[in-house]
Amino acid sequence: MKTIKTLLATAVAASTFAAPAVMAEVEVAASVAVASSYLWRGQDLGDGSPAVSGDLVASMGGLYGGIWGSSGDDTAGNEYDLFVGYGAEFGEVSVDLSVWNYVYPDGGVRDDNFGDLSEAILSVGFGPVSVTYYDNIAGGSGYTYLTVGAEFGAFSFTVGQTDNEDSDDDYTHFDIGYAYNDNVSFTFSQVVDEDDAGNVDDDLNFVVSYSLPIQ
C-alpha cells in the first residue's frame, strides 16, 4: 500500500521547523510495512496480491530525502521511489513541498530509469484538515491528482480526484481509514465517480496494513 501521506507526515514530524542554525543534526528514520493489497489512489494495483514496503528517510532541519520501495504491483512490478523535500510548520499551518521519482526496474508495463517518471507534490495542512496536489512533471500523460483529507482521532477521511489530460480515465474515490493502534490500520476505499472511465475498477477495496518503525 502506497503511503505517500504517511511518509510526508513522518518526515515533517522528524524535522520540526525551528530557528535557523549553523549546523543541524542529520536524523535517519526507517520503517517497514505489510499490507493485504497495494492500494494506490483508490485502485488495487495487485488485484489482491499482498504488498511489502519499506522506507529510509534522512532529515536535517526542514529538509529531507530518502527512498521508498514496494512489491505488490502485478502490472508494473517492483517499485522504488526516490524523493527530496522541505517541510515547515507555522503554528497550526503545515506546508510541505517535495519531488518524487518513480522507478520500475522489472521492465513490466513501465521500464523507467531515474528521471523518467516524476511528480511534484505540495501539501498544506491546517489543524486536522490537509490538501495535497500532485503534478506529473516528467513522464506519464501530464496528469494531476488532488486529495482533501481530515483526521479525527483514530479515523481519517480522504477524497481523491484524478485528472488525466490524454485519456478519459478520470475518477473520484473516497477513503475511510481507522488506526487501531500505532501499527495496525484498516482502509476502505470506494470509487464514487468514474466519468465513463472504462479502465477504472470501481469495486470496494478493503486493506489491512501493519507498519513497524525501525529504531
Per-residue pLDDT of 72-97, as tens digits, reads 998 888 999 999 999 999 999 999 99
Q: What percent of the chain has pLDDT over 70?
A: 85
* Average pLDDT across the chain, whole number: 87
Q: Provide φ and ψ at 106, rounded to 5°.
A: -75, -15
Burial of 79 (0-12, 13-18, 19+ CB in 10 A): buried
Q: Span 31-45, mean pLDDT?
A: 97
**39 contact partners, CB below 8 Å, separation of at least 6:** 1, 2, 45, 187, 189, 205, 207
pLDDT, residue 18, reads 40
Q: Which three cell numbers stand for residue 103?
A: 522507478
126: confidence class by pLDDT, cuts 50, 70, 90? very high
Instruction: State how far the Cα of 147 lies from the Cα of 176, in Å rounded to an integer.
Output: 13
User: Beta-carbon neighbour count of residue 95 at 10 Å?
Assistant: 16
Which residue range(s) make up the domain with 19? 4-214
Q: Where are the alpha helices (DSSP H) in the chain?
A: 4-14
User: What's the structural domain count of the chain?
Assistant: 1
Domain containing residue 18: CATH number: 2.40.160.40
- pTM, 2 dp: 0.85
